[in-house]
Amino acid sequence: MTMALVNSEEAAVRSDGAGLPPAPTVGLFERIAHPGRSRRLLIQHRQTAAERITAASAHIAGEFAGTLAAVEAQQATLKTVADGEAQARSAAEASKRALQRFDDRTTAARDAADLMAAKLSTLEELNESIRGQIEASLAAVASAAKRHADAIREGTALQGEAGEIRQLVDLVAEIAGETRILSLNASVEAAHAGREGLGLSLVAEEIRTLADAALGAATKAGSQLAEAGGEAARATGHLAAAVEASDGDVERGRDVVQRLGAAGADMAETRDATDAVLAATSNDLSAIAPPLKDVDGLAASIDAQSAVCRQTLREAQHQTEAVAQCFKAALALNEWSGALMTAAEAADTAGIADPARDTANAADALLAEIDEGTRAAVTVLDAVETAGHACRSALAAAQTASESLLAPRPDSGSAAELRDQLAAVVAALRDCARDARGVTDGLGRALDDNGKARARLDAFEQAVQRAERIVESAIAIAGQTGALGVDGSLEAARGPSARGFIGVCAEVRDLSRDTVLSAERIKERLTAALGRCGRVGADLDAIAKTIGSEIEIQRAVLRSLDGVADHIASLQAGAGQMTADLAESDAALCEARTAVALIANAATDASRIMEEAGTATRAREQDAAVLAASAKTIAFLADELRSVG
């Protein structure tokens, strides 16, 4: 098509002499008739033709100078595009690395969320179990406190019993005092009996001695019972302190149970938030698969674009070299046309033939270079069109990748909120553990008070046992006193003067009998008190065992609660890492989007450049055809000058 255009334009140029007027014809008759005029016309024609040739060759040289600058600039632009392909390829690789980093970080965040959700579910169940154990333990402690209250009533009853028994002991002491008075009366009656009363005096003395012993025993028994009453009162005080401590601990423990329930609800809410993060990261991982594939396709498009752009650059280099050769040939033509002009101006008919021949040869050489340049331009045009198609394909791939990169939406903010929720749960559990530890310490104090009460109860029991032994001795003394009363009556019956002594002995026997009866009642009451004391002691031992067991249970529960708090604290740290991972995912996604946008911009620029290069190449192809026509005209004129010369 190009050569046809050149040939058609050549015909046009030859038809009008490239704008030159037809050369005047100098005939033989005119040469003979007017030899001077003929010479002047010939010289004028040569000069005019030489001027036209010189002007045309200068124009051609100038045009090729401009064309050479243009193709060199175009080559530089195409080189920029080719060099930019490396940057685009690097951007594609950077995008792929960023997306891989996104995939890695998001996978880490998803796995962390998955593990966290599972652990939270387990810890939530463990927290509920701990809550149930504390609740059961508090129920046991409350039951122990109720039994403590029963023990307080029993202790108060023992204290009252000791007081009542002491009143009986006081009665025994009163009887012993009366017996002592009777012993004095017996001594008086024995003295009235004279010699017959000597034996009776001894009996009276023994009765007084036994009465004093009975009075001493009663006093000691009363002292022991007073001590027992005091011990019962102190035991009751310790039990009251234990009840007060237990009641307070139960209330505080119930508050802990309630707060653990709230913490469990917060853990469930946090687990739901973790599930949401898990779902979001899983969706992001699913959404990143198409961009990864698109970026791979984009890289392939860039590779294809790079190959054709490199080929286009090589063809452009060849075209530049061809245009440079055209410019060089145009300069040679311009130089020969100058020599032709010099010869034409010298009016040397014979001297113009050689410059005209050289000019014609130079014009033919230029035509050959123009023809080579035209073929190079055709090749460049094909390469540019192919490269333009590759650039548009790369642009389409970049746009596809850019659109697919909009789907993933990593949210580090939700992970940060999750971290804050976990921190709140940890703080709540730490507070619960602290207060639960206070409850356990309070139970320890209640157990200590229970132990003190048990010690006082043991002291009560020992005092009562001592009183019991004393009462038994008092019974024995009363029996001896009664026996002396009998002996004294028998002794007094031997002498008529000791009848008064007989009456005293009868009263002694009666008092002795009353003492024995009272002491027996006292012993029965003491035995009953010891039985009640034993039952209360057994209850306190059982309560101590219960409280001690609950303390151990609560300590184990506290260790579990501390473990739950520690595990959630580790999850909190994991949520912090998850936040960092998702922030890194977001940054990586932004990098990938930026890289793809850079590639899209580069592909847009490259496509535009290729389109402009194609337009410019087609324009230069047409210009080359015109210049070829001018060169042919120059060759035609130079040949004519040579033939005329």
- The predicted-structure confidence for 224-235, as pLDDT tens digits, reads as follows 989 988 988 999
The answer to whether 624 and 334 have CB atoms below 8 angstroms apart is no
Cα separation of 330 and 64, whole Å?
7
Q: Contacts by 132-135 with C-beta closer than 8 Å and gap 24+?
A: 133/553, 133/557, 134/253, 134/256, 134/257, 134/260, 134/436, 134/554, 134/557, 135/257
DSSP-derived secondary structure for 582-640: HHHHHHHHHHHHHHHHHHHHHHHHHHHHHHHHHHHHHHHHHHHHHHHHHHHHHHHHHHH
pLDDT value of position 37: 56
pLDDT digits (tens, 9 = 90+) for 258-301: 999 999 999 899 889 888 888 888 888 788 788 778 778 877 87
pLDDT value of position 527: 93
The C-alpha angle 77, 83, 87, rounded to 5 degrees, equals: 130
Phi, psi of 378 (to 5 degrees): -60, -45
For residue 546, give the nearest of 179, 242, 274 by alpha carbon: 242
Which residues fall within 8 angstroms of residue 339, CB to CB, at 6 or more apart?
Answer: 355, 358, 359
The C-alpha angle 625, 626, 628, rounded to 5 degrees, equals: 65
The answer to whether 248 and 182 have CB atoms below 8 angstroms apart is no
The answer to whether 324 and 369 have CB atoms below 8 angstroms apart is no
pLDDT digits (tens, 9 = 90+) for 421-466: 999 999 999 999 999 999 899 889 989 999 999 999 999 999 999 9
**% of the chain residues with pLDDT over 90:** 25
pLDDT digits (tens, 9 = 90+) for 131-140: 899 899 889 8
pLDDT value of position 339: 87
499-644 vs 353-404: helix crossing angle, rounded to 10: 160
Q: Grade residue 498 by pLDDT with cuts at 50, 70 and 90.
A: low
Q: Is the pLDDT of residue 216 over 70?
A: yes
Which residues fall within 8 angstroms of residue 547, CB to CB, at 6 or more apart?
Answer: 141, 144, 246, 443, 446, 447, 450
More confident residue, 575 or 41: 575
pLDDT digits (tens, 9 = 90+) for 45-71: 888 888 999 999 999 999 989 988 988
Q: What burial letters (b/e) apply to 31-56, b meaning 16+ CB within 10 Å?
A: eeeeeeebeebbbebbebbbbbbbeb
Average per-residue pLDDT in the chain? 84
Q: Grade residue 582 by pLDDT with cuts at 50, 70 and 90.
A: confident
Q: Is the pLDDT of residue 495 over 70?
A: no
pLDDT value of position 535: 92
DSSP-derived secondary structure for 162-198: HHHHHHHHHHHHHHHHHHHHHHHHHHHHHHHTGGGGH
Cα separation of 556 and 550, whole Å?
10
- The first and second tokens of residue 62, run together, are 């100038």
Cα separation of 213 and 183, whole Å?
13
Q: Grade residue 592 by pLDDT with cuts at 50, 70 and 90.
A: confident
pLDDT value of position 423: 93
pLDDT digits (tens, 9 = 90+) for 466-488: 999 999 998 999 899 888 888 87
Average of pLDDT values for 586-607? Answer: 85
Q: List Cα–Cα distances, 474 to 172, 416, 504, 515, 620, in angstroms.
A: 9, 86, 21, 8, 149
CA dihedral angle for residue 172, residue 177, residue 180, residue 181, rounded to 10 degrees = -130
pLDDT value of position 530: 92
- The first and second tokens of residue 135, run together, are 């609740």
Average of pLDDT values for 534-551? Answer: 91
Cα separation of 419 and 21, whole Å?
95
Which residues fall within 8 angstroms of residue 560, CB to CB, at 6 or more apart?
Answer: 126, 130
The domain ranges of the chain are: 48-346+362-644
Cα separation of 514 and 300, whole Å?
126
pLDDT value of position 9: 35
This prediction's pTM: 0.67
Q: Is the pLDDT of residue 248 over 80?
A: yes
pLDDT digits (tens, 9 = 90+) for 374-406: 998 899 889 888 888 888 888 888 888 888 877
Average of pLDDT values for 508-535? Answer: 91
Lowest mean pLDDT among 84-93, 408-417, 496-505, 572-581: 496-505
- The first and second tokens of residue 530, run together, are 């010891």
pLDDT value of position 523: 92
Length, in residues, of the chain: 645
**25 in helix, strand or coil?**
coil
Rg value, the chain, Cα = 66
Q: How far apart are the first and last CA of the chain?
A: 37
pLDDT digits (tens, 9 = 90+) for 6-43: 333 333 334 343 434 444 444 434 444 445 556 677 77
The answer to whether 369 and 255 have CB atoms below 8 angstroms apart is no
